[in-house]
Structure 1
């Protein structure tokens, strides 16, 4: 990943300043005399502008004392004096620049009066100017800040990125590294050898820093979660094309209406697969998305690339100044993402959901669970079936508490879609195209063809049993305005013994409601009995057993009409 970032960073100019955002900028205006003495003349408040980033010359430091390498820093509105002292301290560290002297408390009081009454959420930068020039407009400041940074690279070592022997430091443009816990670093608490964990030279650091800033500005999301897509390819000309593509998409805020097809063709030429050349002009008209975000899904374009390009996906969680890698997925090929789109298409053709994307997965699996599912599906890494079903059932059971008042077939359909997507993409299961079902017999075949479900009799039988149970519950609702049979389902926490015991109780209730004599009901009950009673007790968790049962209940909301299709069964239609 770091080498890929370095190569990406080589495509850009590497200014010494960092990108930063703020609402306002407080400027301490100094006047320089002929011998270089600085006198504070004014304090002004102006609007922050990204166009002035080079002038502000903001550059974060490794430490918090002071927090920057230049006399431009974020204002601590709770302790303005502290910010002013840090500004003076870092300015003193710089060689060959004008030195300043101020009455800290007096200046702090003036600034406090300037920002008083503004919104608490307003953020400020504080910086200095000399004779109307920002420090970023003064060559001596640019050189001094660069020299100060380079001065922190004082150890001789082999750079872990470029492999060359240079002056190195224990730093990365990510706050992942920990040097305050024994066992995390070489030498325990010995700071003098801590650099051996991640020795990096100044040149490589700067390339990675710029690459990160550039890629983060793309703000791609998966189900609302931001991630960094780090491209890698052997040919630098392809990497340059990707750079131009990313910049074009970013300039247009991923807005489809603003993209020019001819220009997009030029950017994608040579990157997409041969069979997809004609797609370039129609990509905006036939766009699919799997990320769950509105707008242009970068994955829909990446999936069409040749496998000469790979991607690294980095999900970072930020808490104040701390950063943690929530998920890192390396070496993902376009053909893999294309496969995910094919599975998405298959799921949608089944008719259990209108549109499938990672937003549905995020509805059932939050935070760590969601990251686990993303990694598994992107990489084809197997997920324990019990973990998958338990996660889905946790959400289904919450909805089931209201099942006597309303039925949430949509939720169960989404859960089944998530289950099939994960099982197919992590196990490479075959996908048999579905058909327009016209009869109950065709429904049996359809269930048997469901990947991971129809291949095992007990799963198939549980789906049909849930289907028939939901039919009974609907009959009770029509006749009694309630569903007393729900109590038999034990809040969908039934074990294998409970399910086998439920079978005769289900038949008894169907007979009480004079429904068992229908040919379709008998057919369905017979298929369930034959399948389940001949099955040995499966080694499955309660969550797994009830998930397949609940899936059948959800499918009744879609295919329940097949129970009494007059054309196919030659029987009375029950209302």
Structure 2
């Protein structure tokens, strides 16, 4: 993946030949609008022979246009940043002391500074010391008066009426380049050097005069944990893990910025980087530009975002026709706090052909008659997306955080690995039972679960099923029973289309019992505006004996209501139960039996006979 990020950097530099090393290392203090105000500490003097005097605090709107003026680059959390431009954390006075003033103390003896440059910086520092109390007072007063998301502190220097920012002072700007280069070779934390000469760079695979061992800009690669350091736990040997030459380090630095700006997406509450690894140059610009343009489209406005059918997934589907010119990595991550980067799930080597297979399966499932319900507000009620999976593996206060399970199943879908049926059905039933127990309609959860199962079934991912090899496309368009004489044949046809799912007599009997139960509940609702028979369903935690015992109870209730229809359905249920034999040998879990049952309930409308004469 590091090579893929380096490739993004090389591509960006090709598109912008004017890009310099300084541009690569520089960061934008605006941070996408999180730090929208700059407090400039204004110092002034008449000529270069006099001391600096403090004038005022100049409040200015921040923006990316100030990037070259502020020359910001983050340093360590406890130390200073690379220049005396700093983001205010908790205390504005603390930031001024620990990030701005302390910078001059930490860097006054930098080896690359010439004596006049050291003197110049020393005079600025002296002015800050002499006016410290007044500056802090003014900063705090302005902070109270200013409504800002975040504040940046920096310096503004007026000399002979000429205004300068720290980006205009070469001796300060030089710290960005010099410190960045030096940090690849020498660690201030470990007080050790890690580099070698005349070695092969792990990125470009060329012999280079010098390779470095402290290149840790990627966040997930560190040299302070066992297993990350070659030669045991010797930091000075870390160059052996990932020897990186200066040119490739700059490519990676650029690629990191590209990754953050254009390849960062959200996926149902999770954040991930979509990183292409180009196998060869065919389609190189098309693939990279497609992702970047899509990201920019989403960033324009909320209104533009809503014009996309499914912004959580569409950028992935767009890549399905690239003829395997690239592999894609979906790196799901979390940044719980500044400077902390955690990989949550890493899906590697996803080919466009696999994406196309997933998309084709989605298109097929979307067309099954069960899910082609009337549109609501111009939108289909059911279309398969990973949002259906998220419905059963949520992250909320009521049901807890199921991110790990959600992303592991997403990983298995992209990688073509089996998904555990028992675990999947148990999660579906948690959602269904919750609705059922609260007397809420469970229809959406039941059909969403069946859509998800059908999708995994079509892909051959369910560990207990072979896959949907016998599904017929024409079956998807419609399904209805128009004559009593056609009843058994139509039901058999339905079961054949999902042969693995309804592959036993027990499953068919349970499903059809669910159908009949719902038809009885409909009669009760129409007759007495209540459904007391629901209490017989034991909160959808019935065992095999409970389900078998429903048929005589339903027969009795239908007789009470003088309703003697559904003869063919009742006959089929009896036949299937007889064929199923001893219920102790059904090999079905409670969750599986009850899901099949409630699925029958919610598909019951399809198992009514549609009269040839609709007015009859």
The normalised TM-score by structure 1 is 0.82
* Residue 123, structure 1, aligned to residue 150, structure 2: yes
Could you tell me which of 447, 460, 463 is aligned with 1:413? 447
Point out where structure 2 has 5 or more consecutive residues left out of the alignment.
14-22, 186-193, 372-381, 395-402, 462-466, 482-486
Partner in structure 2 of residue 325 of structure 1: 343
What is the aligned length?
Answer: 534
For residues 183 and 507 of structure 1, the distance between their equivalents in structure 2, rounded to whole angstroms, comes to: 68
For residues 463 and 244 of structure 1, the distance between their equivalents in structure 2, rounded to whole angstroms, comes to: 50
Could you tell me which of 49, 66, 70 is aligned with 2:79? 66
Could you tell me which of 259, 270, 278 is aligned with 1:225? 270
Deviates further, 189-198 or 321-330 = 189-198
Q: CA deviation at 1:113?
A: 0.5
* Structure 1 residues 125 and 82, CA gap change in structure 2 (3 angstroms): closer
* Structure 1 residues 547 and 300, CA gap change in structure 2 (3 angstroms): same
Partner in structure 2 of residue 275 of structure 1: none
Query: 1:11 aligns to what SS in structure 2?
Result: helix
Q: CA deviation at 1:36?
A: 9.2
Q: CA deviation at 1:75?
A: 0.9
* Residue 475, structure 1, aligned to residue 523, structure 2: yes
Query: 2:370 aligns to what SS in structure 1?
Result: coil
Partner in structure 1 of residue 253 of structure 2: 209
* Structure 1 residues 407 and 257, CA gap change in structure 2 (3 angstroms): closer
* Residue 244, structure 1, aligned to residue 311, structure 2: no
Q: Contact between 1:401 and 1:491, CA under 8 Å: does it hold in 2?
A: yes
Query: 2:329 aligns to what SS in structure 1?
Result: strand
For residues 170 and 502 of structure 1, the distance between their equivalents in structure 2, rounded to whole angstroms, comes to: 70
Q: CA deviation at 1:177?
A: 4.7
Partner in structure 2 of residue 283 of structure 1: none
* Residue 547, structure 1, aligned to residue 581, structure 2: no
Q: CA deviation at 1:232?
A: 1.8
Superposition pairs of residues 130-529 of structure 1, within 5 angstroms: 130-131=157-158, 132-154=163-185, 155-157=194-196, 160-163=202-205, 166-177=210-221, 200-218=244-262, 219-236=264-281, 238-253=283-298, 289=309, 292=312, 297-321=314-338, 322-353=340-371, 354-366=382-394, 367-403=403-439, 406-427=440-461, 429-430=468-469, 431-433=471-473, 434-439=476-481, 440=487, 441-450=489-498, 452-526=500-574, 528-529=576-577
For residues 538 and 244 of structure 1, the distance between their equivalents in structure 2, rounded to whole angstroms, comes to: 55
Q: CA deviation at 1:361?
A: 1.6
Q: Contact between 2:545 and 2:583, CA under 8 Å: does it hold in 1?
A: no
Deviates further, 349-358 or 95-104 = 95-104
Q: Contact between 1:17 and 1:57, CA under 8 Å: does it hold in 2?
A: yes
Partner in structure 2 of residue 81 of structure 1: 94
Q: Contact between 2:80 and 2:98, CA under 8 Å: does it hold in 1?
A: no
Q: Contact between 2:41 and 2:58, CA under 8 Å: does it hold in 1?
A: yes
For residues 380 and 36 of structure 1, the distance between their equivalents in structure 2, rounded to whole angstroms, comes to: 72
Deviates further, 143-152 or 424-433 = 424-433
For residues 313 and 176 of structure 1, the distance between their equivalents in structure 2, rounded to whole angstroms, comes to: 15
The normalised TM-score by structure 2 is 0.77
* Structure 1 residues 291 and 489, CA gap change in structure 2 (3 angstroms): farther
Query: 1:475 aligns to what SS in structure 2?
Result: helix
CA deviations 1:389-438 (Å, max 9, x no partner) are 111111111111133xx533222111211222233335354343224212
Partner in structure 2 of residue 277 of structure 1: none
Q: CA deviation at 1:509?
A: 3.7
For residues 475 and 41 of structure 1, the distance between their equivalents in structure 2, rounded to whole angstroms, comes to: 85
* Structure 1 residues 117 and 143, CA gap change in structure 2 (3 angstroms): closer
For residues 511 and 103 of structure 2, the distance between their equivalents in structure 1, rounded to whole angstroms, comes to: 69
Point out where structure 1 has 5 or more consecutive residues left out of the alignment.
260-286
Q: Contact between 2:280 and 2:326, CA under 8 Å: does it hold in 1?
A: no
For residues 236 and 133 of structure 2, the distance between their equivalents in structure 1, rounded to whole angstroms, comes to: 38
Q: Contact between 2:265 and 2:271, CA under 8 Å: does it hold in 1?
A: yes
For residues 302 and 591 of structure 2, the distance between their equivalents in structure 1, rounded to whole angstroms, comes to: 45
CA deviations 1:502-551 (Å, max 9, x no partner) are 44444444444444553343244245424543777343432222222222
Query: 1:352 aligns to what SS in structure 2?
Result: helix
For residues 40 and 135 of structure 1, the distance between their equivalents in structure 2, rounded to whole angstroms, comes to: 16
* Residue 19, structure 1, aligned to residue 53, structure 2: no
For residues 245 and 493 of structure 1, the distance between their equivalents in structure 2, rounded to whole angstroms, comes to: 49
CA deviations 1:78-132 (Å, max 9, x no partner) are 252244322233344254354232134432221111010444x620111223342
For residues 209 and 298 of structure 1, the distance between their equivalents in structure 2, rounded to whole angstroms, comes to: 24
For residues 398 and 477 of structure 1, the distance between their equivalents in structure 2, rounded to whole angstroms, comes to: 22
Q: Contact between 1:170 and 1:197, CA under 8 Å: does it hold in 2?
A: no
CA RMSD of aligned residues (A): 3.4
For residues 206 and 43 of structure 1, the distance between their equivalents in structure 2, rounded to whole angstroms, comes to: 36
